[in-house]
Structures are given as C-alpha cells and as structure tokens.
Structure 1
C-alpha cells in the first residue's frame, strides 16, 4: 500500500504544484500569495465584500486529492514532497524583472477593494494579523506599506548566506534600477530556519514603501467619506539588517523565539549592520511621515496606532472585538496567515492573532490567558512544514489551552503537525461551518470613536475656561 501511495504521489504531485505556476505565467508580478502581508490585504478585502477563498487562494482546486495522498506518508516524505512542489511552483524567473515596476504593487493593493464607496476609515501602514482584524471591524480597506516577491535562483545550500546574498544583491539592484520612482526600498530576507525549504530555490525580496504612492493618494481622495479618518499603522518593531547599498538591505532571520544576535553570529557577511524597522512587520518611518504629510495637506484626521511589537496590535484588536459586542465567553486563536476576519465579524467570535507557531507566541498566549476562562476556545495553527528549533509542539498548545476552555482545533491534524498538507482545506471548511452555524446579523462593527477610546482610555481633561 505504501509503495502504491508513493507512486501515485510521485506521478500526480508535480501536476498539483505545477498548475498554479503555469496559470500565472502570463500575468504581471504580484506579491507572494501566502505571505503574511498579502493575506492581510486579501482577508480584509474578503471581509468587505463577503467573497474570497482565504488561504485556499494559494492552492489550485485540483490539488486536494494529491495533498490527501501526501498526508498519508511519513513526515519526512511529506516535507520532501512539499519542498519539491515548492521548488517548481514558488517564485518567478529573474527574467520577469526586466519590465517590472515596483509601483505596480500599490496599484494591485488598491484594486482589491471596491471603488465608489464612502469608507469611514482607511487603514494604512505595516501589515499583521491584528491589523487585519482591526480593519475588518472598522469595515475599512487596508493599504499595505510592504510587498513580498519571490524570485527564483539556482538551487543553493540553505546555510550558504553568501550565495543567497549574491543572488539577492543582483535582483534588488535590478528592481531598484528598473522602477521609475525612488519611493521604496528592497530588503532581501534570508531566514534559514523558518523558510529553510524555500530559500534553497528563491530569494524573498520585500518591497517597502518610503513615500505615499499616487495609487494610494487617489484611492483615499476618491473613497474616504468627507468626515472619514486615516488609521495609520506605525509598527516600530526593530531587527538588525546588513546594509547592501542605497535603499538595499539584507535581513537574517525574523520574529520567533530565536534572538537576532544568534542569527548574526552564525550567518556573517562583511557588511555594516544597522538596527532598522523589521522587514515583515515594521513600518518605514519615511512612509508614516508621508502619510501624515498627505493627510495634513488635505485636511484629513489621522488616528495613529503605534506599537513596538506586532503583539500589541493583536491585543488591541481583541479588545476592539469585545468593545464592538463580540462573544466574551469564546475566543479564537489564529496564526500568521491562517486567519479569516470575515468569520469573526459575522459570528462575533473574537480573535487573538498569534504572529507564528513558535515558542514566543506560545508564551504570548500563556500570558494573555492568565486568570481567564472561556466556554469555547478555537485554535487555527499554521502548519509551517519548517520544523524550526523554536516551533512549539501541538501538545504544548493543547496543554496550554485546554484548561482554559473547551478546545476545538480547526485546521491541523495533531498527528501530522507541523507538516500537515490538508490544513488549509480544513481551515477554510471550518471557517465556513462557523459562519453557517454561528452567524449573527448584522456583522459586528467598531466605530472610530470606540477605537479612539481604546487607544486613549484616559484622555487629558479639557482646559478650564479662564475666570472673568
């Protein structure tokens, strides 16, 4: 039986992964579908329109039977199968950069949201899951300040930072030279632990906006209500980065339970290092200033939401759910790109977003849960396939959550975590089932006044009138 299953996987798995690559071959370069920032944009768009396939947008419909076969195999073969599939499906050929203009990315973002509406708020800045929930609660679009591209390179050893750096330096230089404007920077993101299987085949290049692009300016002026406000997400989370050149950087590692210093001690380049806003979660200060300058010129009020860690936005969005009337005796822990705010606002089940499936997120959840008890707890955990040293086991999650309420794991199979090929299908089916069984009408919504009160619970008293 195992031999037959392996043969079927060998025959059909390539097709399952090759289909999305072929179907996109004629399209322009768009952000990586499974990137956290891309998912925030798409999930907020789904919350506004009621349409979308969540994480399944990254999988062709015919992939399910092949991934079902894959899930029957031992973990090492499941991981090998996913890695092989990724090697032929993830990323664009470097030749596609010849006609690429980075300013097409903000245009892609604005195109995700319907025009012709008067939004009471437009959320803009650095993406994370807490921000996705906040924008969905406000019924507001989200305009991201960062976009992840994946560009293929010849296969390298994932430990070979020099090869990754050399390929990324050339690609970043081509992107910077080929675009008509200078209002962005490029960060070549090298994470040999959490992205180990992928960096063998692609460079992850994150485009970070430094100015407010015309596409965003037009969208705001055309779609923000006359008394609407801009909600600026200015996350100042820091991480050391190698300085490669003007507007070109390389970051080693990322958010997790492993300190930045350990990465830099192990993966060394002969380049200067600077503490900067982190690649995935940080908002460039230049972009934040550009948003505020634009708002001032056009008489638009700005609500600034500033935290030094993505977890701050997660806690804020959970409090926002409760303030909007969510079910206080239930909670959903969603993780990284496994989230669907449409479900949360339609069911009233509040969410606490976990940045990743690692030990630091487990500690974050433990701190949050201290002294709390819920009737129901839902867990949607990222199946990362990485098996990095800081990945928390499913047993640790169950041990933490179960004493605090009746636990339902929505997506992953505890026997195959973290290498569970069927998790995205279970996740989407579980979200749909919750929307059908627990639907509330109308969807819960957060007012701007309530958001302001959450950010400033004790505003200073108004100055007293002078005595006559």
Structure 2
C-alpha cells in the first residue's frame, strides 16, 4: 500500500501531501499508524530526509544544493494563503480503513502513541501538522528576521484557517542548514476539525473511549501576534534554552556546522515567558474534543507526559505485560529512533518497543536508564537514526552500543544506520528491513482494551511523571 495522497490539487491549490512536511515526525508516524491498521509494514516509506542529501559534495556547494532542494519541497510563499486545513484533516482520516473502531488515540506526535494505537487496533489522529515555507533571503543566524518573515506568512495563512494556531520554530540545532532557507510552522488545531468529526461519527463504535496524549514540555515562547507564537530552539534539540545565546560555546559550534556565525546571531528577545513547547495540544482543541466525546457518550481520557522518554518507557512496559499475558516471553526489545519505526512489524515479531524521539545524548541516556532498570531482555536491537548533522548534543556510536549491550544473548546495532552516522539518515523502510529479520511470534495478542492500557500507563508512568486522568 502506498501512502494515500487524495485531494489532488485542483485550481492550483496545493494538495495536502505538498503542504505537510515530509521531514516531520507527525507525517511519518501517521503513515506508520495507518499501515499498521491496514495490516501492512512500512516497506514503501523510502523518503530520505533533506539533510541526508549531497553528502559527497564540498560543503559550500552542498549548502546551496540543500537550499534548492528545501525550497522545492517547501510551500511557496505566495501559496501559503491557499492552504486549507480542512483538506489536510480529510487527507489524514483517509489514510485509515473505513470500519468500526473500539476507540481512538488523539494528540501530540510520539512513537509511543502509534504503538499504543496499534496494540489497541485503533487510529491515531494528530492534533497538528507541520509545514516548511520557503524563505528566499534567510539566514541561519537571523532568528529575528525569521520572526518577521514568519509574521508575514502567518498573516496570509491564519485568516482563511480560523481553526488553527501557528507555532513557528527557529532551531539551527534541530534543522541545520535548512533554517536558513525555510521557516518551520507547526499548525495546531484549536478545535476538532470537521473531517475528524465525520470520521469519528462514522467509524467510532457507540460509547467507545477516547485517549488524548499531550506533550507537556515547556520552552520560552514569544507571543508574536494573534494565534502566532515563536520559539528559538526546541526541547528535542538536546540543548537548553540558555544555550541559544551568542556566548554559548555549544551553540557556537552548532552555528559553525550550519554555516552561521554567532557574531551575527540575532534573536527577537533574550528572554520570553515559558509556555508549552511546539508539540503540545491547544487547550481549545482539548475542550472541543471533550465536547464531542460528551455528546457521543464517550469517555475522554488524558495522558500528559513531561518528557517523551516517560511515555516511551511506560509504553514499553505496557507492551511487555500485554505480550506476557498472551503467553509470549516479552523478552525481545527493539529501540527505535525518530523515523525508524514500524509498529506492524513490532507486533508481528512480538517485540517490546522503546521509541527515542531522536539521537540526542539525553534521549539515548534515558533509554539506557530504562533498560538498566528493567528485567533483562534476551535481545536488544537498536535502530539509531542518524540526525544528519554534527553536534555535541548528539549521541555517539559508543552510547548507542551501550544501549544494545543490555541484550543478554543478542546485542545488535543496525550496521546500515551506523555506516552513515551521524551525517546520513536512512529511510523509514530500514526499520522494516531489520524487523523483518526477526522470528515471527504469531498469533498476535488480542487487541489491548483501553482500560488495561490506562492501568498499565498509570502503574509504570506515574513514577516517571506521567499524568493519567
């Protein structure tokens, strides 16, 4: 099954697959979740992230080539006002089979959300989508200029889309050279979009429960105008907010690697009030979802996670219990990273999945701590996604090998990903290729009921700061 595109552009209006950034986690996670419900793996997800390209080209030429490639993939500035959020929401729900579901998972992008949805046999509906907009005369070290340009784009994008709020993110540590030629806009729904309502009304079983997952990380956020906010850096970068200043040696290294200059660094404000980071759920969206659930006679449950690793650990523990309750060992673990994920193959192989958001040192360290505190696994397979750039905040291969070493009989670090680490990312299908090599452990367990999922998340996640309510 190929990724459903649907809603082909008519009258020159950009189609959803031309708007939603192919480099974003939410798009990859949506594709993986939909394939799992179709009973398929991710073998056809062959897209290579932009930062992985032109590796053999001299650096000045490579930056120019990356800028051209990013511009081609981004939304053109003069088309931003044509973006229709409802068409994107319709494209999202069309990824899934049209049938009855015993529940639904909604909210922030996280690999654990997709694994939970797969175990329960339900869809995952993201509360956001991400798009890149071409910035013709941008610069990596001009965050203030990015804000001004982003304000112009928000003025075009938001009036025709009153259901959205936009969080603009300028993060050289996370997106490298690309922040100098594109701006990143995370569009978050402020109410349940009509296509979601129709899909839930047609496919959700009567009184079926709903689960909303919310990323509760915080970050300095600047209110840039009506429904437009801005942040420099992001929690996933592996840096702290205080690092994004010219005097920081860590940030200076990032700028050097990305073609910037910390002497020219311009930021819109030295200090901003702390708010929820870019992948949180809009409060108005949650209220809208709650209103729909009450009208439908469904119960809405919430899980708030203060760090992605808390949800990753709780989901992995839940999978282990689910597998063992079905008579399986639950002693084989796969540590996924970023886009290297395949929930259908994980269930087919009867493995315990732990998802790392990215290859940041602190993210990989959290995986080590979880493995150290868990009952021993007979095997640990590790899929380290190369981030596409070098930074002190990125985990080295020695740290990834330490993660794999927790396998008593098998400790495997994917050689293809290692070969190009950290500079050359690999496509999602690489996770499928690795997991296909695992022994089958069929039949798969019966679908995990939501009450059991909530109980498992509460038992394992509460000590880690997970709030289940």
TM-score range, shorter chain: 0.7 to 0.9
Q: What is the match of residue 449 of structure 1?
A: 451
Q: What is the match of residue 31 of structure 2?
A: 42
Q: What is the match of residue 276 of structure 2?
A: 277
Q: What is the match of residue 378 of structure 2?
A: 375
Are 2:418 and 1:398 aligned? no
Q: How far 1:382 moved relative to its partner? A: 1.5
- 2:319 paired residue among 318, 321, 338: 321
Give the 3 Å change call, closer, same or farther, for CA 382–363 of structure 1 in structure 2.
Answer: same
Q: Which has the larger radius of gyration?
A: 1
Secondary structure of the 1:332 match is strand
Q: What is the match of residue 361 of structure 1?
A: 363
Q: What is the match of residue 8 of structure 1?
A: none
Deviations 1:195-222 (A, max 9, x none): 0121122111110111111111111111
- Pick which of 311-320 and 198-207 moved more: 311-320
Deviations 1:412-462 (A, max 9, x none): 44342011255655434223333xx4252235631223113214459xxxx
Are 2:414 and 1:418 aligned? no
Q: What is the match of residue 392 of structure 2?
A: 389
Deviations 1:248-273 (A, max 9, x none): 01111112431123226775314983
Superposition map of 1:135-150 within 5 A: 135-150=117-132
Give the 3 Å change call, closer, same or farther, for CA 371–229 of structure 1 in structure 2.
Answer: closer
Q: What is the match of residue 191 of structure 1?
A: 171
- 2:75 paired residue among 92, 95, 100: 92
Question: What is the TM-score of this pair, normalised by structure 2?
Answer: 0.82
Q: How far 1:325 moved relative to its partner? A: 0.9
Deviation above 6 Å: which 4+ runs of structure 1?
Answer: 23-26
CA distance in 2, matches of 1:395, 1:77: 30
Secondary structure of the 1:370 match is helix
Give the 3 Å change call, closer, same or farther, for CA 82–418 of structure 1 in structure 2.
Answer: farther
Question: What is the TM-score of this pair, normalised by structure 1?
Answer: 0.82
Preserved contact between residue 330 and residue 374 of structure 1 (Cα < 8 Å): yes
Secondary structure of the 2:315 match is helix
- 1:119 paired residue among 90, 101, 112: 101
Superposition map of 1:182-261 within 5 A: 182-255=162-235, 256-261=237-242
> Where do 5+ consecutive residues of structure 2 fail to align?
247-264, 461-469
CA distance in 1, matches of 2:433, 2:181: 31
Secondary structure of the 2:223 match is strand
Give the 3 Å change call, closer, same or farther, for CA 241–376 of structure 1 in structure 2.
Answer: same
Give the 3 Å change call, closer, same or farther, for CA 296–46 of structure 1 in structure 2.
Answer: same
Q: How far 1:334 moved relative to its partner? A: 0.6
The CA RMSD measured in Å over matched residues stands at 3.0
> Where do 5+ consecutive residues of structure 1 fail to align?
1-19, 459-468
Q: How far 1:328 moved relative to its partner? A: 2.3
Preserved contact between residue 381 and residue 412 of structure 1 (Cα < 8 Å): no
- Pick which of 302-311 and 196-205 moved more: 302-311
CA distance in 2, matches of 1:337, 1:410: 14
CA distance in 2, matches of 1:348, 1:82: 43
CA distance in 2, matches of 1:418, 1:79: 16
